[in-house]
Amino acid sequence: SRAYSLVDSSQVSTFLISILLIVYGSFRSLNMDFENQDKEKDNSSTTGSFNGNSTNNSIQTIDSTQALFLPIGASVSLLVMFFFFDSVQVVFTICTAVLATIAFAFLLLPMCQYLTRPCSPQNKISFGCCGRFTAAELLSFSLSVMLVLIWVLTGHWLLMDALAMGLCVAMIAFVRLPSLKVSCLLLSGLLIYDVFWVFFSAYIFNSNVMVKVATQPADNPLDVLSRKLHLGPNVGRDVPRLSLPGKLVFPSSTGSHFSMLGIGDIVMPGLLLCFVLRYDNYKKQSNSDSCGAPGPGNISGRMQKVSYFHCTLIGYFVGLLTATVASRIHRAAQPALLYLVPFTLLPLLTMAYLKGDLRRMWSEPFHSKSSSSRFLEV
């Protein structure tokens, strides 16, 4: 078909990996909720009381104000990188490497827990003021540090993709959208942000700001350090410039070009899918498939069985495929959120209305009226 001919292997790899990252990050987030609930139940059995409002301090919930101002903050950051990249590139590279190290360690943690379970206890080892860590956590962090060091020395795109995957999963797992209202505010604002900086920034700044910032390589910190310390012409000078892990890149089968997808185009829709997955689980646990006011008309039992997560995930797949085809047709960078936001939000809103869940999902969907509720409130 014509659609198939407009998509090469690199783009297929990009959106398949992005879908896997969203699914994995969403289920890691849901698993963290289960672990927090188990801890709260253990604490309640120990202390004789249960506090349903307690949350994990490491989880960041986005409120309406943050959702409105996040596109503005992202625009300011983009302009800073556009005008002052030469001045801040080393600091930005180091900060990105540190964040990528922590995020990739989080990505590797389940595998390391599986590997260390037969041969070592899960007791934590104390490192003084640094904290206490299990053997699996130490192993995942060591592997992550090793990967980042190899990436700094080689600059290989596969290692950059691995670090970008860790950032995607960590952000989806640790950042939460509390309601459909906040989700609509955030994604709508980011859609406008993405469209403006891709399509209209060239008219103001004589350059496509988004594309230039996303594709501009940074000086290698080892090269900068060798020049600052005057270590000689052969020390640290043969290391490559680094393309920062703020995107996924895959080479085409011919090697003539790379397909690129920013991690924001994965994380932001991923937060929406994480939200609907948690809502599906909440409804299933509370045995209230008919909660909320009934929607208009008769809704078939088959449609009632379709989960919001599967509906939104299919929308993400179709939206990303549409963005991929559009980029090949126009032979230019496309704002992926222009396609992803409508294809995810509109089916979700329609299904929520037909199922009668729209009002509840719009505001405080996880709030339980029962004081004895054992669900995590986020």
Rounded-to-integer distance, Cα 85 and Cα 244, Å: 12
Rounded-to-integer distance, Cα 332 and Cα 5, Å: 17
Q: Active site includes 265?
A: yes
Strand bridging mode 175-176 / 132-133 = unpaired
Taking residue 359's Cβ as centre, other Cβ atoms within 10 Å add up to 13
Rounded-to-integer distance, Cα 113 and Cα 232, Å: 44
DSSP secondary structure string, 71-126?
HHHHHHHHHHHHHSHHHHHHHHHHHHHHHHHHHHHHHHHHHHHHHHTTTS--PPEE
CB 201 within 8 A of CB 143: no
**Selected catalytic residue, list 161, 194, 223, 357:** 194
Q: Active site includes 194?
A: yes
Q: Residue 71 burial by CB count (10 A; 0-12/13-18/19+): exposed, middle or buried?
A: buried
**Selected catalytic residue, list 265, 280, 289, 357:** 265
CB 110 within 8 A of CB 166: no
Two tokens at 133?
């860590």
Could you tell me which of 259, 261, 291 has the C-alpha nearest to residue 364?
291
3-state DSSP assignment of residue 32: helix
Give catalytic residues, as residue numbers. Answer: 194, 265
